[in-house]
Amino acid sequence: MAIVAASAVVFGSARINSAVASATAATPFDAAAIYSSKCAKCHGRDGRAQSLHAKHVHARDLTAAEWQNDVSDERIFNSISNGKGKMPSFKKSLSENDINSLIPYVRGLRK
């Protein structure tokens, strides 16, 4: 009986931890919403940075194949987290999971 109770506790907590982990991981939909609210103003909805505002702040064209080939995922993460040039830091307003979810989203903008 004690083994059954212990198993229920162990397996039950594993399900809870799994549910918590999946609830905290950003989904592709979340990444699109985050990009729309935090990135699109400067980089554009399509990532091409063609607006007057984008040109004023020298926002990067995220669709450029050369940039996509040269930049590492770590650098994308660090740029979003810490900011770069006129780009602000988002580490206080986005979780690490949110920032990590943006990396494949940005990669998907490639021409």
Structure token digits, residue 14? 């594993």
Question: What is the C-alpha separation between 84 and 42, in angstroms, rounded?
Answer: 13
Instruction: Answer whether 85's CB lies under 8 Å from 12's CB.
Output: no
For residue 29, what pLDDT is reported? 74
Q: Which residues pair with 84 in a beta bridge?
A: 87
Instruction: Answer whether 76's CB lies under 8 Å from 4's CB.
Output: no
State whether CATH 1.10.760.10 applies to domain 27-107: yes
Query: In the chain, what percentage of residues exceed pLDDT 90?
Result: 73
Would you kindly state where each structural domain of the chain is located, as residue ranges? 27-107
Instruction: Answer whether 101's CB lies under 8 Å from 28's CB.
Output: yes
pLDDT exceeds cutoff 90 at 3? no
Between the alpha carbon of residue 40 and those of residues 10, 19, 46, 66, 105, the distances in Å are 44, 31, 8, 20, 12
Query: For the CA atoms of the chain, what is the radius of gyration?
Result: 19
Per mean pLDDT, which of 11-15, 26-30, 43-47 is the most reliable? 43-47
Structure confidence at residue 26 as a pLDDT band (50, 70, 90): low
Question: What is the C-alpha separation between 96 and 92, in angstroms, rounded?
Answer: 10
Structure token digits, residue 89? 């830091």
